[in-house]
């Protein structure tokens, strides 16, 4: 099986190297091929998602992705900024299903900004639709306003839209995921205001009737944002659109106190996927060997499970990560008194030793 390795910018290359070494240590015959993406793609080929990189990603069975972005690209026009690589890969590979688990490891309960008794045992999964909604909806652009309070004035607009099949397929992903968990799905919408999300709610409800063994509830997005900090353990699987999922998944990640621990998967209809840590490229600490590689290593575990049909190997990697945490090893971002601080490579080595 072929894995495309797109390390990207900032700490991307350091953390991806550790995840790749973990995959190599499993004794499987995976083949790795690297390509430039993000700012690195722009430097090498003048575009954040070079043609050759996209072709490699399309040909591979899975993509191991680091992170993209650096302040030095802030002045570039939007179509050349590193983020465009992320959006282009999602669109071109049809990666419509974004899985973002937020799990609190008991050893790290002290790292959360919420009280331990509120977050201990937290284990939720956000299923975010990733190729539709206002992110990709057309038309979009700028024009002179034809109506509204200031006709004739310059205005900008985007289009929020979802088709029935788009909502159905992401709803199925959520209900199927719930079957392997606590059998509860919370669909997050804004049906009280938006036509798009009234439609969303109806379709998720209809799909839910095909899963009588799974409990379905509907929450408005503002209430969901509040519930996430009030009592996050009420959630099992949250399914929502692209924009609300972007916002809620950042909120959920912070409940665990350690964004350096959270993996993610973006899947197409045939289980091909792109796997990346939930955190960004952290250019401020790049090249110093102190970044936490665990989110990327856990993303590799998700890759083993969802794209490479190696569920036992995924469990092995996850168990190794837990073992290393239990032993008291910590990178700087999750360091607490009484634990032992290690760097990126030492953490990766410890996970491989624990395998």
Compare residues 87 and 332 and give the one whose CB is closer to ligand IPM: 87
Measured at CB, which residue is nearest to ligand IPM? 83
The answer to the question of residue 251 lying near Mg ion (CB under 5 A) is no
Nearest CA among 297, 281, 308 for reference residue 28: 308
Q: What are phi and psi of 110, to 5 degrees?
A: -70, -15
Which range of residues in 73-81, 82-90, 119-127, 267-275 is near ligand IPM by CB under 6 A? 82-90
Please calculate the CA angle 340-343-349 and round it to the nearest 5 degrees.
Answer: 90
Q: Pick from ligand IPM, Mg ion, none: which does 107 bind, CB < 5 to 8 A by kind?
A: none
246 is catalytic: yes
214 sits in the region (left: phi over 0; alpha: psi -120 to 50; else beta) called beta
222 is catalytic: yes
Strand 62-67 relative to strand 2-8: parallel, antiparallel, unpaired? parallel
Exactly one of 61, 158, 246, 251 binds ligand IPM (CB under 6 A); that residue is: 246
- The span from the CA of 42 to the CA of 189, in Å, is 37
Which range of residues in 43-51, 83-91, 223-231, 315-323 is near ligand IPM by CB under 6 A? 83-91
61 is catalytic: no
Nearest CA among 115, 84, 75, 349 for reference residue 233: 115
Q: What are phi and psi of 344, to 5 degrees?
A: -60, -50
- The span from the CA of 187 to the CA of 205, in Å, is 9
Measured at CB, which residue is nearest to Mg ion? 246
289 sits in the region (left: phi over 0; alpha: psi -120 to 50; else beta) called left
Exactly one of 123, 246, 251, 346 binds Mg ion (CB under 5 A); that residue is: 246
236 is catalytic: no
190 is catalytic: yes
Among 42, 190, 211, 275, the one annotated catalytic: 190
Q: Pick from ligand IPM, Mg ion, none: which does 87 bind, CB < 5 to 8 A by kind?
A: ligand IPM
The answer to the question of residue 87 lying near ligand IPM (CB under 6 A) is yes
Provide the 3-class DSSP secondary structure of residue 111. helix
Compare residues 251 and 268 and give the one whose CB is closer to Mg ion: 251
The answer to the question of residue 93 lying near ligand IPM (CB under 6 A) is no
Which residues are known catalytic residues?
Answer: 135, 190, 222, 246, 250
Interface residues with Mg ion (CB under 5 A)? 246
């Amino acid at each position: 099986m072929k894995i495309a390795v797109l390390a990207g910018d900032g700490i991307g290359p350091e953390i991806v190297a550790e995840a790749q070494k973990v995959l190599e240590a499993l004794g499987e015959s995976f083949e790795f091929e690297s390509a430039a993406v993000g700012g690195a793609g722009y430097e090498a080929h003048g575009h954040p998602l070079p043609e050759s990189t996209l072709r490699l990603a399309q040909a591979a069975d899975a993509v191991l992705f680091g992170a993209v972005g650096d302040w030095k690209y802030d002045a570039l026009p939007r179509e050349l900024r590193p983020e465009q690589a992320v959006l282009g890969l999602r669109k071109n590979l049809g990666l419509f299903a974004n899985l973002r688990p937020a799990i609190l490891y008991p050893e790290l309960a002290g790292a959360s900004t919420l009280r331990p008794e509120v977050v201990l045992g937290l284990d939720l999964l956000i299923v975010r639709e990733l190729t539709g909604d206002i992110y990709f909806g057309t038309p979009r652009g700028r024009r002179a306003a034809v109506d509204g309070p200031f006709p004739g004035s310059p205005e900008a607009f985007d289009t929020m839209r979802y088709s029935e099949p788009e909502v159905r397929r992401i709803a199925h992903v959520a209900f199927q995921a719930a079957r392997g968990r606590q059998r509860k799905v919370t669909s997050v919408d804004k049906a009280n205001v938006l036509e798009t999300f009234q439609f969303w709610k109806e379709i998720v409800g209809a799909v839910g009737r095909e899963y009588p063994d799974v409990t379905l509830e509907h929450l408005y997005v503002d209430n969901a944002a509040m519930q996430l900090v009030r009592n996050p353990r009420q959630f099992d699987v949250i399914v929502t659109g692209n924009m609300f999922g972007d916002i809620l998944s950042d909120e959920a990640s912070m409940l665990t106190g350690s964004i350096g621990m959270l993996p993610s998967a973006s899947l197409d209809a045939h289980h091909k996927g792109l796997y990346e840590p939930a955190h960004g490229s952290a250019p401020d600490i790049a090249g110093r060997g102190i970044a936490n590689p665990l989110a990327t290593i856990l993303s590799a575990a998700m890759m083993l499970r969802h794209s490479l049909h190696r569920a036992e190997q995924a469990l092995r990697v996850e168990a190794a990560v837990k073992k290393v945490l239990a032993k008291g090893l910590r990178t700087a971002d999750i360091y607490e008194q009484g634990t032992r601080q290690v760097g990126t490579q030492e953490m990766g080595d410890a996970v491989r030793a624990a395998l």
